[in-house]
Amino acid sequence: MSSTLVLLRHGQSQWNLENRFTGWVDVPLTGQGEAEAREAGRLLAAEGLRFDAAHTSMLSRAIHTLWLALGEMDQPWVPVTRHWRLNERHYGALTGLDKAETAERHGEDQVHVWRRSYDIPPPPIEPERDDDPCRDPRYDFLDDRVLPATESLKLTLERVLPYWHDALAPALKQGRTLLVAAHGNSLRALVKYLDDVPDDEITQLNIPTGVPLRYRLDDRLRVVESGYLGDADKAAAAAAAVANQAGGGTA
């Protein structure tokens, strides 16, 4: 029995546009981000994909991307699960800072370590800040001790994997077709796991906004085929744009 999994990074957000570290802060899509989400829906519709279920994070830029894509596919009825484990990587004390200014203040080498090392997180967010997840009512049902104050990609993977094992993998083993609309780093974590990407290589992977990445999996959830939908050159250019942001990275 085969299954299909589509990973979709949210469209451009306001803080993507402003080149700021976003993480768990809830910011809206830009007009371009909304257009990217609709284009993703058109690409998925052109492939004839019919989803059994969809999954997204607790952050509105991913939720709205999913809504717009499903609307474009005329599949607004698809059951949707929102879960905090699919949230973006938490950038700790860097949250909200302009990436270029942060590089000027701390040095490009230090910021590169925080952004692109696999297992070195930025300094933790100060607990008195209003954007500390422990102060966000949407996470009131969680023990504060599971909420991150900062994360590396390694820690993000450790947060995301339980959702893969508990929610996504069982459905895929039943031959379901799933859509996951999430974030650059939570999706990077899934790609690392699915493709068994080495630690020193996954940090160089850039996932473009609004371009669906389709996986075909066998009955043991091994990758049979994967690739971005639509124009390959356009997807590559979008990924390069992510990599070339000043101080760069995902948000």
pLDDT single digits (tens) 20-36:
999 999 999 999 999 99
Instruction: Kindly state the helix (H) or strand (E) to which residue 224 belongs, with its residue range.
Output: strand 223-228
Residue 250 lies in a domain: no
Asked whether residue 188 is assigned to any structural domain, the reply reads yes
The CATH number given to whatever domain includes residue 223 is 3.40.50.1240
Residue 248 inside a domain? The answer is no
From 36, 39, 88, 151, the catalytic residue = 88
Number of domains the chain contains:
1
Q: Verify whether residue 126 is a known catalytic residue.
A: no
Residue 37 lies in a domain: yes
Per-residue tokens: 161 = 């994997």
pLDDT band, very low/low/confident/very high, at 251 (cuts 50, 70, 90): low
Q: Is residue 145 a known part of a binding site?
A: no
Q: And the tokens for 20?
A: 């700021």
116 marked as binding residue: yes
Assigned domain for 251 exists: no
Asked whether residue 13 is domain-assigned, the answer is yes
What mean pLDDT comes out for the span 212-233?
A: 95
Task: Find the angle CA(181)-CA(79)-CA(42) to the nearest 5 degrees.
Answer: 50
Q: Measure Cα distances from 1 to 45, 166, 195 in Å.
A: 23, 19, 19
Residue-wise pLDDT for 187-221, tens only, equals 999 999 999 999 999 989 999 999 999 999 999 99
Kindly state whether residue 141 falls inside one of the protein's structural domains.
yes
Q: Would the annotation count 47 as a binding residue?
A: no
The 10s digit of each residue's pLDDT in 139-178 is 999 999 999 999 999 999 999 999 999 999 999 999 999 9
Please choose, from the candidates 17, 177, 184, 164, the residue with its C-alpha nearest in 3D space to the C-alpha of residue 87.
184
- Domain of residue 111 covers 3-243
Catalytic-residue membership of 88: yes
pLDDT at res. 249: 46
* Domain assignment present for 23: yes
